[in-house]
Amino acid sequence: MHTPIAAALAATPEARAAEDILRACVHCGFCLATCPTYQLTGNELDSPRGRIYLMKAMFEGEDPGERTRYHLDRCLTCRSCESTCPSGVRYGRLVDAGRSLLERRFPRSPGERLRLGLVRNSLAHRSLFAAALAAGRALKPLLPSALAAGVPEARPAGGWPPVRHARRMLVLEGCVQPALDPGINAAAARVLDRIGISLVRVPGGGCCGALPHHTGDHDGALAAMRANIAAWSPALRQGAEAVVMTASGCGAEVREYAYHLRDDAAYAERAAGVSERTRDLSEVLAEHADTIAALIPPARRPQGAAARIAYHPPCSLQHGQQVRGKAEAVLTACGYELQPFAEGHLCCGSAGSYSILQKEMSTALKVRKLGHLLGTQPAVIASANVGCQVHLQSGTAVPVRHWIVLVDALLNGKD
């Protein structure tokens, strides 16, 4: 679709990023059917096509206002629309550019900027978040039930095997995951160790950049990306095969490092190398599913009702990274019976900081998702992103676990 970018904006990085993407959209509307927010409200402006119209108008020179902000803020960046779009519109990159330009052309109020900064800083700084979570756990009995439901139980991580294999992979430690569920990375290390791969923690890595990125702190996001690239590059040069992602939300971000840093002369090449060698844990383990299954003692293989699980594939995995069927293949090989359910392509409403910033929409999506998942009467709900895990767990007593924790329990007898 023809998009005459306003002359005053043509040289901005946002317009350069957006122009071709805007042109690719033919406004067919196929994406409306798979957009979670449009499914909830039925409002065209809460759909990908409606948001593209709003951004197109802004790039063509129209002054943006509250209406544009309201509907862009309500977008989950789940990228379900990218999976559906027959024209290959890179909506995720477009909405990034649109939000960035909007921040400059129609700045938020100081109060709103403060709120976003608080959310960002309390989540993205590992020690700050861990302290807040510890306080939340200590005060949990005194909290209102709605608030207490969002505070996950502490679970021990268990041991981390020594680095002893020739095959080595790096792991992103992340920001919230080590505090929310430290057992996820440790379980990944134990399972990989059993199939001859050592998972290595590299000092200096931290938040993948997604949290600052999605709360409007572009510079903070780039700084986080550069820190990870600097931390991982030496080990990658020395033979580590890949950077393994155990949180799909982080994986979607790290795969985009090459794009975000494409104009950074000092980092572009290394960013491309990191993105190229980023693999979701499920991609690595699906290649070894039969080996893993053969290592499980027969007495530990799931039986009867305990074998029924509902696996929720996070948007950041199925849409953001276009990785599908891998964790499912490992779980099935291990003896779990995955229950089919409706609307598996729709977001659960977690979406990083969205569950805090857009409470109403997020809760509606959680209720809808849990309705489908619990309808299968699972013994456990599995997922591949700690955000989805904690978000869904706040609405049900059925255990919600990262899928690797289930595999580790079968192999190594822990949970």
- Give contact residues for ligand SF4 (rule: CB under 6 A): 25-31, 35-37, 48-49, 51, 75-81, 84-85, 87, 89, 91
Quick one: 36 or 212, whose CB is closer to ligand SF4?
36
**Other Cβ atoms closer than 10 A to 300:** 14
Q: Measure CA 203 to chain center.
A: 22
Q: How far is the CB of 351 from ligand SF4 (least distance, A)?
A: 8
Structure tokens at 69: 């902000």
Quick one: 74 or 168, whose CB is closer to ligand SF4?
74
Q: How far is the CB of 282 from ligand SF4 (least distance, A)?
A: 22
Quick one: 221 or 284, whose CB is closer to ligand SF4?
221
Q: How far is the CB of 319 from ligand SF4 (least distance, A)?
A: 8
Question: Left if phi > 0, otherwise alpha if psi is -120 to 50, otherwise beta: which for 217?
Answer: beta
Between the CA of residue 41 and those of 132, 360, 369, what are the distances in Å? 34, 12, 16
Q: How far is the CB of 1 from ligand SF4 (least distance, A)?
A: 8
Q: How far is the CB of 74 from ligand SF4 (least distance, A)?
A: 8
Quick one: 48 or 174, whose CB is closer to ligand SF4?
48
Name the burial class of residue 346, with classes exposed (0-12), middle (13-18) and buried (19+) by CB atoms within 10 angstroms of its CB: buried
Quick one: 37 or 350, whose CB is closer to ligand SF4?
37
Q: How far is the CB of 346 from ligand SF4 (least distance, A)?
A: 9
Quick one: 87 or 339, whose CB is closer to ligand SF4?
87
Between the CA of residue 291 and those of 13, 165, 287, 296, what are the distances in Å? 48, 17, 9, 9
Quick one: 193 or 253, whose CB is closer to ligand SF4?
253
Q: How far is the CB of 102 from ligand SF4 (least distance, A)?
A: 15
